[in-house]
Amino acid sequence: MAKAENSDGEKLVKAFHGAHHAHGRCVGRALSRADALCRQRGARLTTMRRRVLELIWDSHKAVKAYDLLDRLSDGEKPVRPPTVYRALEFLMAHGLVHRVDSLNAFVGCSGADADHNAQFLICQQCGDVSEMDGAAIGKAVARQAQLAGFTVRRQTVELHGECPRCTAS
């Protein structure tokens, strides 16, 4: 996760983006990563899949499947649910997109590697979702579970609250 300094010179984890950040870079980074990853694995990032990924990266908010559907469709050629869900399935399988269970919605994966335990910070005000790859949390969680004799295979950690930007204003 990128670090930045605030006005007091403190180190802050920069998980959320400013309102007017150069979003093109987020998108660009995500798409080239997708390209690279798929090439490397011999997976096909088809036009449809790429379009879906781009639409998801259009913002940092979680996107509903049926919103994607609407945006992909024009009156002449409506796109049907299975098409979108299949693209999402592919993108999730390759770690390019995550499903946010508590929202029934999808966000682009900004994490480094494919198979990681991500946590999500979801702003209840602006709707922006930020991904934390907090190994610390992952471990705390796994340790606590271990006390109950439980082996963690997959975790859903979704934190709803207020992002720095909305807190400030």
Partner DNA sequence: GAAAAAATGTTACTTTATAACAATGCATTT
Partner DNA sequence: AAATGCATTGTTATAAAGTAACATTTTTTC
List the single partner that 163 binds among a copy of itself, DNA, none, CB under 5 to 8 Å by kind: a copy of itself
70, 74, 68: which is closest to 49 by C-alpha?
68
Report the site for a copy of itself in 97-126 (rule: CB under 8 A). Answer: 101-102, 119, 121, 123-124
List the single partner that 66 binds among DNA, a copy of itself, none, CB under 5 to 8 Å by kind: DNA
| Cα–Cα distance measured from residue 166 to residue 124, given in angstroms and rounded to the nearest whole number | 9
| Cα–Cα distance measured from residue 46 to residue 48, given in angstroms and rounded to the nearest whole number | 5
Residue 86 touches DNA, criterion: CB under 7 A: yes
List the single partner that 124 binds among a copy of itself, DNA, none, CB under 5 to 8 Å by kind: a copy of itself
| Cα–Cα distance measured from residue 23 to residue 57, given in angstroms and rounded to the nearest whole number | 9
| Cα–Cα distance measured from residue 169 to residue 155, given in angstroms and rounded to the nearest whole number | 32
Closer to DNA by Cβ: residue 15 or 43: 43
Binder of a copy of itself out of 36, 93, 112, 159 (CB under 8 A):
159
Report the Cα 111 to chain-centroid distance in Å: 8
Residue 120 and residue 99 in contact, taking contact as beta carbons nearer than 8 Å: no
**For 29, what's the count of Cα atoms within 13 Å in the CB-facing half-sphere?**
10
Residue 160 touches DNA, criterion: CB under 7 A: no
Binder of DNA out of 6, 32, 102, 104 (CB under 7 A):
104
Considering the complex, what minimum distance in angstroms separates the CB of residue 101 from a copy of itself? 4
Closer to a copy of itself by Cβ: residue 38 or 105: 105
List the single partner that 93 binds among DNA, a copy of itself, none, CB under 5 to 8 Å by kind: none
